[in-house]
């Protein structure tokens, strides 16, 4: 078994959070089934996040072709995430890292204590649970999806 951590080549830390439909979702649910693009973001309905998720939605076919599930994680409540998904029709699964506040964001090293939300951290995790790519941007710096697709090519 690989060392658990948040660096490329390490086993991604497992977690369980509730999704926008109040269902428990664990990272380990995807083991042996799908690659995962784990997207930590500042918050629902923020302009940069909206743009990023519109880009992710626009490339849904490319993620599907890569055998990847896109999972967004923020410190928003499950009710906020439900409204966000319903209003925008985003295909991603949204998980609430609300309580204990930011626990999974902290586990992945992207939580910003001074503000109470996560940086724009993205982790590309293969079917075996190994991190194949990592991109962490500051809250006001949008991400580049090309980095995700490059990392997905490394997934088995």
* CATH number of the domain that residue 139 is part of: 3.40.30.10
Residue 2 reports pLDDT greater than 60: no
Q: How far apart are CA 61 and CA 59, in angstroms?
A: 5
Q: How many domains does the chain have?
A: 1
**Candidates 25, 49, 71, 110; catalytic one:** 49
* pLDDT one-digit tens code per residue, 115-148: 999 998 999 999 999 999 999 987 777 777 777 7
Is 155 catalytic? The answer is: no
pTM of the model: 0.91
* Chain mean pLDDT for the chain: 88
And the tokens for 46?
Answer: 């923020």
- Averaged pLDDT, 64-86: 93
**Is-contact 34 68, C-beta < 8 A?**
yes
| 68 belongs to a structural domain | yes
**Is-contact 67 34, C-beta < 8 A?**
yes
| 8 belongs to a structural domain | no
| 113 belongs to a structural domain | yes
| 11 belongs to a structural domain | no
Question: Which range marks the domain in which residue 76 is found?
Answer: 16-152
| 4 belongs to a structural domain | no
The pLDDT value given to residue 58? 79
């Amino acid at each position: 078994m690989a060392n658990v951590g948040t660096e490329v080549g390490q086993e991604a830390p497992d977690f369980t959070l509730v999704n926008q439909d109040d269902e428990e979702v664990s990272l380990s649910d995807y083991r042996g089934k799908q690659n995962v693009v784990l997207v930590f973001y500042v918050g629902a309905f923020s302009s940069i996040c909206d743009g990023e998720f519109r880009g992710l939605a626009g490339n849904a076919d490319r993620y599907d072709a890569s055998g990847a599930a896109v999972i967004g994680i923020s410190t928003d409540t499950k009710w906020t995430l439900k409204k966000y998904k319903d209003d925008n029709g985003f295909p991603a699964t949204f998980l609430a890292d609300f309580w204990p506040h930011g626990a999974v964001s902290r586990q992945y090293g992207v939580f910003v204590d001074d503000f109470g939300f996560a940086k724009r951290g993205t982790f590309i995790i293969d079917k075996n649970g190994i991190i194949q790519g990592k991109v962490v941007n500051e809250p006001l710096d949008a991400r580049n999806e090309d980095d995700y697709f490059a990392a997905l090519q490394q997934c088995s």
